[in-house]
Chain A
Amino acid sequence: MQEITRITLETDMDLVLVHKRTMKLGELAGLSLASQTTFATAASEVARHVIEYGYNAVLILGIRADIKDPEKFLMARVLDHNINLTEKIHESMVYAKKLVDQFSLEQTDKGIEITLGFKIPGAHKIISSRIEQWISSFSVEQPISPYDEIKRKNRLLQELAEKLTNSETQYREVTNALPLIIFSINEEGELLYANSWLKAFTGFEAHELNENKWKPVIREEEFAFAWEFWWQHVAEKTPFKRELELKNDSTGEFIWHLVSVTPVTDEIGEALYWTGSMVDIHAQKVMEQTLRDNKELKEMKLLLEEKVGELNRSNQELEQFAYAASHDLQEPLRKIAYYSDYLNKHYAELIDERGKLYLGNMMSANQRMTQLIHDLLNFSRIYRENLHLVKTDLNILATEAMNDLDLAIKAKHAQIEVSQLPVISVYPMQMRQLFQNLISNAVKFSDDQRAPSVKVYAETNGNVVQLIFEDNGVGFEEKYLDKMFSLFQRLHSREKYAGTGIGLAMCKKIADLHNGTITASSQPGNGAKFILTLPSVA
C-alpha cells in the first residue's frame, strides 16, 4: 500500500476530518458520489470505534496498486495501540466490513491493524504520477476547517516544544559541562539561572548566593566595591566586564575571574534580565602580575643602580671633601697655631694679662678646631670599601686601645678590667677605634666622688655576641640615647668634659659596618653600660 495521507485519531472532531479526506480521496480516484460516501462511511465507522476504545490510533489513507494485480484499491488502514481492542469488536465494525470490498483485522505485538479496501473501477487510468499529485494535494491542502487548522498548529507546536525540550536539555548539558559559570540574573542582582559550575566552584547554589549576596565568595575588602560596581552598571544598561576574585570552595583560595554581563532587552530597550559568565583568568592574572613584578623589579633595579651611582658620586665627593678638609682647612689652622705660638713665645711680655688670656683662648680654640677636623676625617674614613674582615682576638684589641689611652687612664687612676673576650671576624682597625672610644668615654665621664672603674666583658646569646662596656661614671639620662649616637651631639658643656661629639657617632658607624647595633643604658650618677651587639659571623 502506498500512503497518501494520514490522520491521527484522538477526538470526535477527527471523525469530520476522516470523512472529508476519505471523500476527497474517493473523488480524486474517480469514484461516484455514492461510492465516495460508502468508502467514507466505512472508514469513519472504524475511526469512530478506535477513538472510542482504542489508544493512540492513526488512520492512513492510501492506494494499493500492485503491478501483478489488474485491480486497484483505495485503502484505509487504522493502526491502534490497544492490544485488547479485538475483544471490543462492535456492530459498527461489522457494518463497515459490509461496505468495503476487503476487510482485515490483524493482531500485532504493538496493537491491531484494521485494513479496508475499496475497489477502484476503471483503475487502469491511474498511473503513479497521478498518485504523487494526490499526495501533494493532501500535503498542501488548505485548512478545511478551523479545527483542522488548530490541529495542524497544535501538532507544529508540539513538535516545536519537543525540539525546545531537546535543545534545552542539550543546552543545559553543554553549559553544565563547561568549566565556567554561566548565569542569568535580574536587576536586583538575584540569580535566575546558573549552570552547575557555580555550585561546583563556589559550593553554593544560586538561591543560596541570592540569600547571602555572594558575601562568602568575595573578598571582604572587595565586597562593597563589587556591588557598587554592579549597581552602577546595571543602571547604565550596557554590557560590562570586571575582574573579580571568587573563593573556590574546595581549596579555599581566591581565584581571579573575568565577569562579563550583558543586558537582555525588550523591543523598547528595557532590560528584562542580564546574562553573563565568569571565567577563570587566574593563570593570566598571575602571569600579568609576574610580568608586572618583573617590570617593577627591573625598574627598581635601574633605580637602585642609579642610586648606587649617586651614592658612589656622593662618596667620591665626600672623599674629595675629606681631602680638601685635610689640606685646605688644616693649612690655615696650622698657620694660626704657628703665629699664636710665635706671639706667645716672643711677644708675651709686650701684651697685658687680658691680651695673654685672649691669646690663650685663641690657641685652645684653634686646638679644638684641629681636633675636630682630625676626628671628622677619621669618621669619614669609616666605610666598607677596601676593608677586609679578619678573625681577631678582641683581647688584643682591648689591650692596644688601653695602651693608647695609657696617659688618661693613669691620670684618672682608672681601674679597667677586661674579662676573657672572644675571637671573632671584625675590621680590626675600626673595632680598635670603637674599643678606644668607649673605654676613653668611660674614663672621661667619671664621677668626681670615685675613681673610674670600667668592666669590659662579652656575652654570647644564640648567634649574636654582645660586648659590654660598663662604667661607674656620671651616666646619662636615657631620653638622650638617640641623640647621643648622632654626630656632633654633646650632653655636657665643653668646660666640664672636652670632646667633639664624634666619638659615639663613630662607634655607631663602626657597629653598622659590622652589621651590628650599639645601644646603652644608664641612670644619671649610676654609671653607664654600652652594649655592642654583633652577629657571630660579622
Chain B
Amino acid sequence: MDNTVKILLADDDVEDRFIMQDAFNAINLSEVPLLVEDGEKVLEYLSETHRNAGILPSLVVLDLNMPRLSGTQTLRELKSRDAYKDIPVIIFSSSLNVIEMHECKQLGALSYMVKPFTYEEYLLSAQHFYDFCLKKHSFPEFNSLINNFK
C-alpha cells in the first residue's frame, strides 16, 4: 500500500461518505480517502496542507449538490489557484445533467461520474479512483460522456 496516495472526497451526505469509506475499507485502502462534508472543507484542508508543506491529495472527488460551496463553485476555486489547479478533479453526482456536465468540463474537471446503485459498483469506483492515482486507470473523456448521454 502506497501511503502517499490520498484522495480527498467531499460529500454533504453522511451516508454516502460512510458508503464510500466502507468501499475503500473493503478493498483494504481505508487510509486513502479523506472525507469532508462540503467545498469549504475542501479548501480549508488544502490550504492547511499547503501551509504545512504537506502532501496534497492525488485526486479530488466532488459531489455537486452541496450546501455553502457547491461542487461547481469548489471546482472553480480550485482551478483558479496555481497551487491546486493541477490536482485532477472528478465530479461524483447522483444524476446525469448535461448542462452541469458541460459546465464542469469547461471549468476543467477531469471527468463526471454518476454515483453507483450497487455495492459492487462502489467497490469498483473506489478501486478506479485509487488506480487513477497510480496512473493505472483512466476515466472516459467528457465528450464521449456527453455523447453517451445523448
Query: Which of A's residues lie within 8 Å of B, judged by CB?
Result: 323, 326-327, 330-331, 334-335, 337-338, 341-342, 345-346, 370, 429
Contact = CB atoms under 8 A, between A and B. Distances in A.
30 contacts: A323-B97, A326-B95, A326-B96, A326-B97, A327-B65, A327-B94, A327-B95, A330-B94, A330-B95, A331-B13, A331-B94, A334-B94, A334-B117, A337-B117, A337-B118, A338-B116, A338-B117, A338-B118, A338-B119, A338-B122, A341-B117, A341-B118, A341-B119, A341-B120, A342-B118, A342-B119, A345-B119, A345-B120, A346-B119, A429-B150
Contacts of A337: 117-118
Interface string B116-145: 111110100000000000000000000000
Interface string B48-79: 00000000000000000100000000000000
Nearest to A335: B15
Contacts of A334: 94, 115, 117
A346 B122 CA distance: 15
A338 B94 CA distance: 12
Contacts of A342: 118-119
What's the interface size class on B, roughly?
Answer: 10 to 19
Given A327-B95, A345-B119, 14 more contacts: A326-B97, A327-B65, A330-B95, A334-B115, A337-B118, A338-B19, A338-B116, A338-B118, A338-B119, A338-B122, A341-B119, A341-B120, A345-B120, A346-B119
A338 B116 CA distance: 8
A338 B117 CA distance: 5
Nearest to A331: B94
Nearest to B118: A341
Contacts of A346: 119
Contacts of B116: 338
Most buried by B among A330, A337, A346: A330
Contacts of A326: 95-97
Interface in B82-119: 94-97, 115-119
A193 B24 CA distance: 111
A492 B118 CA distance: 31
Contacts of B117: 334, 337-338, 341, 370
Nearest to B115: A334
A334 B15 CA distance: 12
Contacts of A429: 150
Interface in B8-40: 13, 15, 19
Contacts of B150: 429
Contacts of B65: 327
A228 to B, nearest CB: 67
Most buried by B among A326, A337, A370, A429: A326
A234 B115 CA distance: 88
B70 to A, nearest CB: 11
A342 B118 CA distance: 7
Q: Which 4 A-B pairs have the closest CB atoms?
A: A326-B95, A341-B118, A337-B117, A331-B94
Contacts of B97: 323, 326
A499 to B, nearest CB: 21
Nearest to B97: A326
B38 to A, nearest CB: 16
Contacts of B95: 326-327, 330
Nearest to B15: A335
Contacts of B120: 341, 345
A387 to B, nearest CB: 13
A330 B65 CA distance: 13
A429 B146 CA distance: 13
B102 to A, nearest CB: 12
A335 B120 CA distance: 14
Nearest to A370: B117
Nearest to B116: A338
Contacts of B13: 331
Contacts of B119: 338, 341-342, 345-346
Most buried by A among B94, B97, B116, B150: B94
A183 to B, nearest CB: 77
A338 B13 CA distance: 14
Nearest to A326: B95
Nearest to A429: B150
A264 B143 CA distance: 93
B56 to A, nearest CB: 30
Most buried by B among A327, A338, A341, A370: A338
A506 to B, nearest CB: 16
A123 B94 CA distance: 145
Nearest to A377: B95
Contacts of B115: 334
Most buried by A among B19, B95, B120, B150: B95
